[in-house]
Amino acid sequence: MTISRINIGPVHPSTHGVLRLVADIDGDTVVGVEPHIGFLHRGVEKLVENRMYMQCPPYFEKLDYVAPMSYDEIYVAAVEQALGVELSERAAYSRTILLELQRIASHLLWLGTMSNDLGQFFGMFMWAFRDRDRVLRLLEEVSGARMFYVNMRLGGLVRDFQPGFDERALEVLGYVERRVKEYERFIEKNPVFIERMKNVGVLTKDMAIELGVTGPVLRGSGVDYDVRKDNPYYVYGKLNFKTQVRSECDCLSRYKVRVMEIRESIRLVREALRIMPEGSAVGMPTRLIIPAAKNRIVGVSREMPRGECFVYMVADPQRPYRLSIRAPSFANLAALGEMAKGCKTSDLFAILGSLDLVMGDVDR
């Protein structure tokens, strides 16, 4: 049969934004697929060179609009390292809690979009969004915004948790835990879902390491690597949690890793809420005049919902001199061609969904 070349995207229901794929298809088999990126490039790395330090977080949040808090945090952490700002104990705890809540929200959204990619008519999508909304309301309570929080300040947060936040958070966590259990049953007992994910998009351990994928995709390929565990920041070292690793290397194992991570995050937040010390988590005011940077060159590595993100910054006194981001989605996208080789046309979208791409993150 002749090979036909089809163009998927940049506007397509399953590319989660503006990813363009050019796929060569032989009958129903994908021979090769080539991603074209850059439709959402906003030049953030350059933009921040002309902004004061604390003017930049909003730009960062828009990189990953599914998990803005984590980008907010990684940038502020880089600046803190450059300026030598110390965090109070409570601030470290509250940041950990917020990051994990953000991870839960992000993974829930992924669960919805993934099952939509598999052709489940929006049911799981709506349910996951409904539950994610409960988590977002918690984040809203803390930051005042639902999507782009801009909630980090040097040395802490904009404001401390409201009184009673613990109880509300625990209630939401219980709700999400119940729901996730239900969704697991819904998906794992449905032979169609299993069939669509099992042995689809296999990425072997060696290949995963070679291609440099990160996060759940890496752990779904059997590599035990999680920045939170292997290079702990904030209070992750003090908290009790397991890295979720699966060695089946297919879409199903990536699904399982993410669902289990929701569970682990719930446990993490519960524990952190329990042992969080009293004190103040409030950071410095934004308009602080910043003295000369302590460390001129800093690098911060964080485990984001999508994988390991690394921010490299050369610091000037008032603004970043140069900043570079190693984005998790970008690294994961690199594995698409390898995974999609030889799969069926329908599988291509299952694989794409299992990567959990955010195009803002890919294009920066």
Q: Is there binding between residue 28 and another protein (CB under 8 A)?
A: yes
Q: Does residue 14 interact with another protein by CB under 8 A? A: yes
84 vs 119 by CB, closer to another protein: 119
CB of 129 vs another protein, minimal distance in Å: 9
Q: Provide the mask over 242-281, with x wherever binding to another protein is found by CB under 8 A and - wherever it is not.
A: ----------------------------------------
Question: Residue 287, class by beta-carbon neighbours within 10 Å (0-12 exposed, 13-18 middle, 19+ buried)?
Answer: exposed
DSSP 51-109: S-GGG-HHHHHTTSTTSHHHHHHHHHHHHHHHHTPPPPHHHHHHHHHHHHHHHHHHHHH
Q: Kindly state whether residue 347 participates in binding another protein, applying the rule CB under 8 A.
A: yes
Q: Which of residues 179-238 bind another protein (CB under 8 A)?
A: 186, 190, 192-193, 195-196
The single residue among 96, 115, 143, 243 that binds another protein, judged by CB under 8 A, is 115
Among the listed residues 72, 209, 349, 354, the single contact to another protein using CB under 8 A: 349
How far, in Å, CA of 63 to CA of 68, rounded?
A: 7
Smallest distance from another protein to CB 262, Å: 19
- Minimum Å gap between C-beta 10 and another protein is 13
| Torsion on CA atoms 82, 84, 88, 94, rounded to nearest 10 | 0
Q: Of the two residues 28 and 224, which places its CB atom closer to another protein in the complex?
A: 28
SS3 assignment, position 26? strand
Segments of the chain assigned E as strands: 3-8, 20-26, 29-36, 152-153, 156-157, 297-304, 307-315, 320-326
Q: Does 346 bind another protein (CB under 8 A)?
A: yes
Closer to another protein by Cβ: residue 29 or 295: 29
Q: How far is residue 217's CA from residue 245's CA, in Å, rounded to a whole number?
A: 10
Binding of residue 12 to another protein (CB under 8 A): yes
User: 127 or 225, CB closer to another protein?
Assistant: 127
Contacts 24+ apart (CB under 8 A), 22-31: 23/340, 23/345, 23/348, 25/345, 26/1, 26/2, 27/1, 28/344, 28/345, 29/342, 29/343, 29/344, 29/345, 30/340, 30/341, 30/342, 30/343, 30/344, 30/345, 30/347, 30/348, 31/3, 31/341, 31/342
Quickly list DSSP for 42-53. Answer: --HHHHGGGS-G
Nearer to another protein, 25 or 325 (CB): 25
Nearer to another protein, 144 or 342 (CB): 342
* Number of residues located near another protein, criterion CB under 8 A: 33
Residues 130-159 that bind another protein (CB under 8 A): 130
Give the separation between CA 238 and CA 22, rounded to whole angstroms.
Answer: 46
Task: State yes or no: residue 36 binds another protein (CB under 8 A).
Answer: no
The residue (of 77 and 259) whose beta carbon lies closer to another protein is: 259
Among 38, 43, 84, 119, binds another protein (CB under 8 A): 119
DSSP letter, residue 259: H
CB 302 within 8 A of CB 326: no
Judged by CB under 8 A, does residue 120 bind another protein? Answer: yes
Per-residue mark of binding to another protein, 306-345 (x: CB under 8 A): --------------------------------------xx
Which chain residues interact with another protein by CB under 8 A? 4, 6-7, 12-14, 25, 28, 115-123, 125-127, 130, 186, 190, 192-193, 195-196, 344-349
